[in-house]
Amino acid sequence: MLGRTAGGLFWMFRYLERAENIARLLETGFRIALTASHEAEAEWESIISTAGVRDAYLAKNDHFDGATVINFLLRDPDNSSAVMNCFAAARSNARMVRTALSSEVWEATNEAWMTMKPALARPVSVKDLAGVLTSIRQHSSLVRGALHGTMLRNEIFDFARVGTFVERADNTARILDVKYYVLLPSAAYIGSSMDNAQWETILRSVSAFRSFRWLNESDTSPRAIADFLILDKRMPRSLAFCHSKILGNLTYLGRGVDPDLPCVALSRQIDERLSGRDIEEIFDEGLHEFLERSISDTARLASQVQEDFRFYG
């Protein structure tokens, strides 16, 4: 496969996953704002930080009110991670690799862009926000469903999956890291009702609240939640799950090129660092330090994948 095609598939599914993650974050911020109006600005600020666009946001805005944050994350042309820009970039990449996709995957991607373009042509009102966020998640899921239901399990499928899980692992680590270093005003709040509510928000932002409650009915401690989102391979947005899938897909891709590719070795190192770990070891190491390293490792892995498969060749 040409590197350009591989890169198009990788980035197409990264952008679709990013659009869905932004919608999940906004839904969380909106829910908090409805129940904690006096602290809403601080909560909206944390949403911007979690999305990793704080510098770009502050370059244009000097406050964190809900309407401005929502507009910036959904449709600001200067924000490369805005949902509309993500759908446009995903469609552009899909068009580039059109012959590698089934007609169902292409049609689902094109329909997503055609639906979201008019929906985000102007600022979204509070009245319409819930419906728009649901539509974003549904369209991203439709493309993913079409991929699973119609595509061969070959290198095309593997590049798409690597892109999805690289983006998802990065997002989960960022959300957990922000919980510790942005949301709480001071360590004195640890264990408070505010702390517990924020952990619940973190679970909801990755659609893990119900799954967590099924498995941990009596233990809702920060350690139990961190363990669930970092190490539990049953949770499809945990770091352990994402990196085990990346390793599987890269191993398959390496067989057709070179089993000793640096990206396969790096992916194996990351997977081994997560396998067999205990959450107490991670807290002893320092959760923030662990998550910073995870974000850095995921970025390094993405760069290595691009280099090994010559995405720009």
Span 169-206, pLDDT tens digits: 999 998 888 766 655 555 556 666 667 777 777 787 78
Give CA–CA dist 230/248, Å, rounded: 18
Mean pLDDT, rounded, for 84-108: 97
Radius of gyration of the chain (CA): 19
Mean pLDDT, rounded, for 151-160: 95
Which two tokens mark 51? 């999305």
Q: How far is CA 147 from CA 2, 167, 287, in A?
A: 20, 17, 35
The pLDDT of residue 191 is 61
The pLDDT of residue 193 is 67
Which two tokens mark 199? 């952990």
46 Cβ contact partners less than 8 Å away, ≥ 6 residues apart? 29, 178, 182, 183
The mean of the pLDDT values for the chain is 89
Cα torsion 124, 132, 108, 12: sign: positive
Residue 71 amino acid letter: N
Mean pLDDT, rounded, for 104-110: 97
* Residue 39's pLDDT band (cuts 50, 70, 90): low
pTM: 0.90
The pLDDT of residue 192 is 66
Q: Check: CB of residue 174 under 8 Å from CB of residue 53.
A: no
The pLDDT of residue 84 is 97
Give CA–CA dist 268/91, Å, rounded: 31
The pLDDT of residue 36 is 60
Mean pLDDT, rounded, for 228-252: 95
**Would the pLDDT of 37 be above 70?**
no
Percent of the chain with pLDDT over 70: 92
Q: What is the 3-state secondary structure (H, E, C) of the chain?
A: CCHHHHHHHHHHHHHHHHHHHHHHHHHHHHHHHHHCHHHHHHHHHHHHHHCCCHHHHHCCCCCCCHHHHHHHHHHCCCCCCCHHHHHHHHHHHHHHCHHHCCHHHHHHHHHHHHHHHHHCCCCCCHHHHHHHHHHHHHHHHHHHHHHHHHCCCCHHHHHHHHHHHHHHHHHHHHHHHHHHHHHCCCHHHCCCHHHHHHHHHHHHHCCCHHHHHHHCCCCCCHHHHHHHHHCCCCCCCCHHHHHHHHHHHHHHHHHCCCCCCHHHHHHHHHHHHHCCCCHHHHHHHCHHHHHHHHHHHHHHHHHHHHHHCCCCC
* Residue 163's pLDDT band (cuts 50, 70, 90): very high
Mean pLDDT comparison of 21-35, 198-212, 299-313, highest-scoring range:
299-313
Give CA–CA dist 19/271, Å, rounded: 26
